[in-house]
Structure 1
Amino acid sequence: MKGYTRKSRETVKMKDVARLANVSPSTVSRVLSNSSLVAEETRRRVLEAVEILKYRPNRLGRNLRKLTSKIVMVVFPDITNPFFSRIIQAVEEVARERGYYVLLGDTRNDIKLEREFVELGKEKLVDGILLATARIPKEEILSLSLQLPIVLACEYIENYSIPTVSIDNTRAAYEATEYLIRLGHRCIAFINGPKGIILSRDRLKGYRKACEDNNILIEEVLIEEGDFTVDSGYQIMRKFLLMQKRPTAVFAANDEMAVGAIKAIKEYGWQVPRDISVIGFDDIPLCRLVDPELTTISQPTYEIGKQAMTMLLDLIEGKSIINGQVILPHKLVERKSCMELATK
């Protein structure tokens, strides 16, 4: 390959690589897609030509000899939700330490956007994907997992062996509901997240099981579906307050909806927790700023991000995964938004 004049990076085409390596453009394409149909000597010549010309197809920045981009994508349902801030911090720190860049994708709870991010993975523009949302059909996620490394954080898919890092949401919701029951509450409202999300189904399951185990009749009018935003918690709580038999306690499936519920209670002239106790889920920083400070279920968000990214990079690098289904511990954090019913 001596004597070949190198073109600028902007003008280098696949045909230039093919000419330098003395192969057809289709052979270059097969080498770059890691096809097994290419002889090793031919593969070596093509990769050498790629390096000489500094050819960068499909945004593959570095390590072309290994055919990796050193880029991983992390997809979130709502990047404005403070719950994800520590997860983002952890995944970026782990990736940086191991020489990878992180591309963040925000679906804004839009399944169309989520599918678009997944398509980037299918085009081999990234080495792997960490999904903190799983609203697209599970069959699509399974198909993706057969094409490149994928790990789920916070969410999971039932009956599939896709690597996952999460907490036991059913158990956590059970404990939150039982905590209110131990305080003497028996009319407990539940503000859930979108019903199509497995986290919402698990948290509802935990709420129902705690009520059943304590012989509390579940009133369906006390179960409402929100969307994990402050406004949805606020609007749903207003409906509860208009009931003839208002609840004495409210369990919200995330902290933002719990904060919205507290706002509605105060606007109606009631006090938390003297009149209505409120408990949330996640333990975001806002819990310590709202008045009263919010009792909640705390998730180990940094550890979720750390372990999920570590698992993803291990998969990308061909390392064995001993435990692909990691369940991390949660804890109930008692603050000032709940009190015993008998002392009111």
Structure 2
Amino acid sequence: MAARIQDVAKAAGVSTATVSRVINRHPSVSDSTRKKVLEAIEKLNYIPNHGGRMLRKQETKTILVLVPDIRNSFYANILYGMDPIMTEYQYNLIIASTYSDLVRERNLINLLKQKLADGMILLASVLDEAELRELDEMYHLVQLCEFNQGTTLTHVSIDNYQAAYEAVAHLISRGHRRIGFLSSNNSFLSTKLREAAYRQALRDHSITPDENLILRGTYSFESGRIGANILMNTVNPPTAIFCISDVVAAGAIQALYRLNLRTPDDVAVCGFDDIDMASQLTPPLTTVAQPLEMLGTMAAKILIDKIAGKEVKRSTVLQHQLMIRGTT
């Protein structure tokens, strides 16, 4: 017969309420009592009945995470960072790709509305501010990496403007004045901030931005390859290329290689994100490192705190780092 909570209480010499508090990580339990209860749980192989607790408190111990595309290693690293917090607080994840499709995103959010999740983390949502604010009034939300400028919603990110400015300033410090920018045609705040920083860094160094050197595609390898080919076939091609992501940068490096151009001797390349492959390329990619795992960890911790009714900061900005490697 399976052990009951009463059996654990008897073995530990405490009340069933104390056992419940230990299981639910209540801070009022002393360390010595907690140790006795945990030892009894292990000895009796007791499995807590979370189902009953969920029904009583209308909890699911599940968090919904929506990402644009789970195949992208950028998001995979962030999700990996959520795992330790979820394990610590005994939460499960429902992870789904929205592919930046508004209808699909709204359909997935129905899981939250149907009380199949206690809260939601949104990476690069395509919902507008008004719709997000309405959801936030009814449910627990955290926006991660992407958010609306001036939003009052809880969000976690890096300073994309400062990070991009430092990257472009680095290229300028290497003597480059013709710097291309392979950007994206999405409406993400990070994209807008990185382009604004690119332009400002040029102006601050008495360089007039050349619209012919700014191309907008996607975050894909193919977009980087095509974009670099276009840039290098202009009348006055760039001597350096700043890319919206590392994947785009990898595509650009391949295009340069096929054009018999050496990186960085002929054309320098800088990426953004510092995903795993950035340091594995030949030469290794200069890039802006986002603390991907920590972004996931912080978003998960903040959401769990919100679910628990704790006060949280509206905005959490983590530190980036310019990783100077072989491509510049």
TM-score by length of 2: 0.82
Residue 331 (1) aligns with residue 303 (2): no
Q: Which residue of 2 aligns with 1:116?
A: 107
The answer to whether the 8 A contact 1:174-1:206 is kept is yes
Q: Secondary structure at the match of 2:152?
A: coil
The alignment of Structure 1 onto Structure 2 pairs a total of residues equal to 278
Over 3 Å counting, the alpha-carbon distance change for 1:290 and 1:139 in structure 2 is same
Match of 1:311 among 281, 302, 307: 302
- Which protein is bigger by CA-based radius of gyration? 1
Over 3 Å counting, the alpha-carbon distance change for 1:175 and 1:70 in structure 2 is same
Q: Which residue of 2 aligns with 1:152?
A: 143
Match of 1:188 among 179, 184, 203: 179
The aligned runs of 1:73-222 (5 Å cut-off) are 73-222=64-213
Per-residue CA shift, 1:300-319, capped at 9, x if unaligned? 11111111100001111111
Q: 1:62 offset after TM fit, Å?
A: 5.4
CA distance in 2 between partners of 1:165 and 1:309 (Å): 10
Tell me whether 304-313 or 114-123 shows the greater mean CA deviation: 114-123
The answer to whether the 8 A contact 1:61-1:69 is kept is no
Residue 288 (1) aligns with residue 274 (2): no
Runs (4+) of structure 1 moved beyond 3 Å? Answer: none
Residue 251 (1) aligns with residue 254 (2): no
CA distance in 2 between partners of 1:66 and 1:246 (Å): 63
* Identity across matched positions, percent: 34
Match of 1:228 among 219, 237, 243: 219
The answer to whether the 8 A contact 2:81-2:294 is kept is yes
CA distance in 1 between partners of 2:178 and 2:85 (Å): 45
CA distance in 1 between partners of 2:68 and 2:247 (Å): 15
CA distance in 1 between partners of 2:52 and 2:227 (Å): 49
Q: 1:329 offset after TM fit, Å?
A: 0.5
Tell me whether 156-165 or 305-314 shows the greater mean CA deviation: 156-165
Q: 1:122 offset after TM fit, Å?
A: 2.4
CA distance in 2 between partners of 1:221 and 1:69 (Å): 52
Tell me whether 195-204 or 176-185 shows the greater mean CA deviation: 195-204
CA distance in 2 between partners of 1:157 and 1:218 (Å): 26
Residue 299 (1) aligns with residue 287 (2): no
Q: Secondary structure at the match of 1:116?
A: helix
Over 3 Å counting, the alpha-carbon distance change for 1:62 and 1:218 in structure 2 is same
CA distance in 2 between partners of 1:194 and 1:165 (Å): 23
Unaligned stretches of 5+ in structure 1? 1-59, 339-344
TM-score by length of 1: 0.78
Q: Secondary structure at the match of 1:225?
A: strand
Tell me whether 126-135 or 254-263 shows the greater mean CA deviation: 126-135
Per-residue CA shift, 1:128-161, capped at 9, x if unaligned? 0001112222222111111100001111222221
The answer to whether the 8 A contact 2:100-2:125 is kept is no
Q: Which residue of 1 aligns with 2:30?
A: none
Tell me whether 304-313 or 155-164 shows the greater mean CA deviation: 155-164
CA RMSD of aligned residues (A): 1.3
Unaligned stretches of 5+ in structure 2? 1-50
Residue 271 (1) aligns with residue 256 (2): no
The letter of the residue matching 1:121 is L
Over 3 Å counting, the alpha-carbon distance change for 1:320 and 1:276 in structure 2 is same
